[in-house]
Amino acid sequence: MIHNGMEFDTYFKNYPDKDGFFGKYGGAYITEELKAAMDEITEAYFTICKSAKFISELRRIRKEFQGRPTPISHLERLSGKLGNVQLYVKREDLNHTGAHKLNHCMGEALLAKYMGKKKVIAETGAGQHGVALATAAAYFGLECDIYMGSVDIKKQAPNVARMKILGANVVEVTHGLATLKEAVDAAFAAYAREYKDSIYCIGSVLGPHPFPMMVRDFQSVVGIEAREQFIEMTGELPDAIVACVGGGSNAMGFFSGFLNDPVDIYGVEPLGRGATLGDHAASLKYGEEGIMHGFNSLMLKDENGEPAPVYSVASGLDYPSSGPEHAFLHDLGRVTYDVIDDEDTIDAFFALSKTEGIIPAIESSHAVAYAIKLAQKMGRGSILINLSGRGDKDMDFIIEKYGIR
Ligand SMILES: *Cc1c(COP(=O)(O)O)cnc(C)c1O
């Protein structure tokens, strides 16, 4: 299938290239020492992940532990209110731990086991990645060090408790602003020291090669399942698909199943309080090319060219860059990246809860809000939304800040 002059039949063979580039985006901008460690992971990934044993073990885990395949639900009542467009959701909220993140964490931890590593290392901001990785580490009997800024540790007490209950070691990072950026630096430094016995597990399609590729591949199960299920359910492909984009892992896994199809693809970034720098985290829509955390992508920069402060009501979406493959698909025009603000997000959170009995994560509510607007614009057809996670984690915050709508 050709989109905007680009051939997508061979897309996954060609991207990323051997150095981890999607066009000019991606790569591995890291120290020699870390590069050696990343090369070891790349090599292991290419051999181990093709082995029948690894593939069948991952399949079994997905079925028996995670509860995959997750279903697709038809949003009949919500669609009825909007007119003639039918909305559907891929239910990653029903994946074990309540979100898509476990898909790549189980893959990364299984890879660690096959590589003979004893420990997994990561950073976490809001704690969602930390909880998913701690779950995977518990399942495989691996040690787990999660680096977290002290500011975030105070803000995210329930997730800190979850990680500790799951047996993870939460390492407090106190320097600088003591939030995600410092936690990333500390986790990278720890990995450089400990890479012989450990593996670094990133939380999205971010970071140096091979992570954007590996996390996409582990998340591609979402897109593969969704495509099959949707065709089985309706007899055809959806006209459009929608997912929220923070780092971009749920979106990339979901989109990968449909890149070669005649399907319109939409990635939704958080507009937060508005289009002023500092009030949103829409790096694909408003960012410029830049390198951070070891990779080249589109990035929101401050006046000094450093990563800008960002904001979103959804803590899982407030990152000043996005995965390099999204930047590539953005420039190609294969995926349309657009924005939804906090207000529309909260309305969609209540709309899905009240009309369908599904309480979505605030992150996922961005995709739902966008699909509602798109449905009104399209007038007819079908839209499949990736519901990346459930909203239990967000309920206290929403009730306190917005009340019941
Ligand atoms: C972390 C998270 C996201 C954002 O991460 P991506 O890598 O962009 O998918 C989205 N939804 C939920 C529920 C999350 O926990």
- Residues 356-375: tens digit of each pLDDT: 999 999 999 999 999 999 99
- Tell whether 155 is covered by a domain: yes
pLDDT top residue among 5 and 251: 251
Kindly report the protein residue whose alpha carbon is nearest to atom 3 of ligand 1: 316
For 96-110, what is each residue's pLDDT tens digit?
Answer: 999 999 999 999 999
DSSP helix/strand/coil, 144: strand
What's residue 7's pLDDT? 84
Active site residue 101: yes
Asked whether residue 296 carries a pLDDT value surpassing 90, the answer given is: yes
Last residue within a domain, chosen from 211, 244, 272: 211
Q: What integer is the mean pLDDT of 335-344?
A: 98
Kindly report the protein residue whose alpha carbon is nearest to atom 5 of ligand 1: 246
The reply to whether ligand 1 has any atom less than 6 angstroms from the CB of 389 is yes
Cβ burial, residue 18 (10 Å; 0-12/13-18/19+): exposed
Q: What integer is the mean pLDDT of 291-296?
A: 95
Going by pLDDT thresholds of 50, 70 and 90, the confidence category of residue 325 is very high
The reply to whether ligand 1 has any atom less than 6 angstroms from the CB of 244 is yes
Asked whether residue 262 carries a pLDDT value surpassing 90, the answer given is: yes
Torsion of CA 256, 17, 132, 170, to 10 degrees: -160
Going by pLDDT thresholds of 50, 70 and 90, the confidence category of residue 335 is very high
What's residue 35's pLDDT? 94
Q: What integer is the mean pLDDT of 15-39?
A: 96
Asked whether residue 2 carries a pLDDT value surpassing 90, the answer given is: no
Among 92, 100, 312, say which to mutate for ligand 1: greatest number of ligand atoms within 8 Å of CB. 100
Question: Hey, what are 133's tokens?
Answer: 């990785």
Active site residue 7: no
Q: Helices 180-194 and 32-48 sit at what angle, rounded to 10 degrees?
A: 80
The reply to whether ligand 1 has any atom less than 6 angstroms from the CB of 247 is yes
CA angle 375/381/384 to nearest 5° reads: 70
Q: Report d(CA 219, CA 177) in Å as an integer.
A: 31
Going by pLDDT thresholds of 50, 70 and 90, the confidence category of residue 221 is very high
CA of 101 to the centre of ligand 1 (A): 7
Residues 229 and 129 in one domain: no
- Tell whether 8 is covered by a domain: no
CA of 166 to the centre of ligand 1 (A): 21
For residue 55, what is the domain's CATH number? 3.40.50.1100
Question: Hey, what are 276's tokens?
Answer: 């002023």
| Catalytic site residue from 73, 79, 101, 363 | 101
Asked whether residue 227 carries a pLDDT value surpassing 90, the answer given is: yes
Q: Report d(CA 265, CA 25) in Å as an integer.
A: 20
Among 204, 220, 250, 385, say which to mutate for ligand 1: greatest number of ligand atoms within 8 Å of CB. 250
User: Considering only CA atoms, which of 335, 140, 119 is closest in space to residue 223?
Assistant: 335
Q: What integer is the mean pLDDT of 7-32?
A: 95
Return the ligand 1 atom nearest residue 245 CA. Answer: 8
CA atoms within 13 A on the CB side of 352: 32
Question: Hey, what are 212's tokens?
Answer: 């954007």
- Tell whether 10 is covered by a domain: no
Asked whether residue 58 carries a pLDDT value surpassing 90, the answer given is: yes
What's residue 232's pLDDT? 98
Residues 45 and 168 in one domain: yes
b/e 226-259 (16+ beta carbons within 10 angstroms → b): bbebbeeeeeebbbbbbbbbbbbbbbbbbbbbbb
CA of 247 to the centre of ligand 1 (A): 7
- Tell whether 145 is covered by a domain: yes
For 299-314, what is each residue's pLDDT tens digit?
Answer: 999 999 999 999 999 9
- Tell whether 56 is covered by a domain: yes
Return the ligand 1 atom nearest residue 251 CA. Answer: 9
Alpha-carbon separation of residue 384 from 44, 75, 223, 371 (angstroms): 35, 10, 11, 8
The reply to whether ligand 1 has any atom less than 6 angstroms from the CB of 134 is no
Residues 336 and 359 in one domain: yes
Q: Give the H/E segment covering residue 151.
A: helix 150-155
Residues 121 and 261 in one domain: no
| Catalytic site residue from 79, 108, 113, 123 | 123
What's residue 323's pLDDT? 98
Q: Report d(CA 54, CA 288) in Å as an integer.
A: 39
Last residue within a domain, chosen from 211, 240, 257: 211
CA of 32 to the centre of ligand 1 (A): 30
CA of 5 to the centre of ligand 1 (A): 31
What's residue 27's pLDDT? 98
For 150-174, what is each residue's pLDDT tens digit?
Answer: 989 998 899 999 999 999 999 999 9
Q: Report d(CA 91, CA 249) in Å as an integer.
A: 15
Count of domains forming the chain: 2
Last residue within a domain, chosen from 167, 194, 211: 211
Residues 110 and 200 in one domain: yes
What's residue 177's pLDDT? 84
Residues 245 and 371 in one domain: yes
Residues 196 and 282 in one domain: no
Mean pLDDT of the chain: 96
- Tell whether 2 is covered by a domain: no
Asked whether residue 5 carries a pLDDT value surpassing 90, the answer given is: no
Residues 258 and 143 in one domain: no
Residues 47 and 113 in one domain: yes
Distant-in-sequence contacts of 365-370, Cβ < 8 A, 24+ apart? 365/314, 365/391, 366/244, 366/268, 366/269, 366/270, 366/314, 366/317, 366/340, 367/242, 367/243, 367/244, 367/268, 368/89, 369/268, 369/340, 369/344, 369/345, 370/242, 370/266, 370/268, 370/338, 370/340
- Tell whether 300 is covered by a domain: yes
- Tell whether 342 is covered by a domain: yes
Kindly report the protein residue whose alpha carbon is nearest to atom 10 of ligand 1: 363
Residues 57 and 178 in one domain: yes
Q: What integer is the mean pLDDT of 390-396?
A: 94
For 63-91, what is each residue's pLDDT tens digit?
Answer: 999 999 999 999 999 999 999 999 999 99
Q: What integer is the mean pLDDT of 224-237?
A: 98
The reply to whether ligand 1 has any atom less than 6 angstroms from the CB of 246 is yes
Residues 131 and 239 in one domain: no
Residues 155 and 277 in one domain: no
Task: Residue 306: give the domain boundaries.
Answer: 67-99+220-402
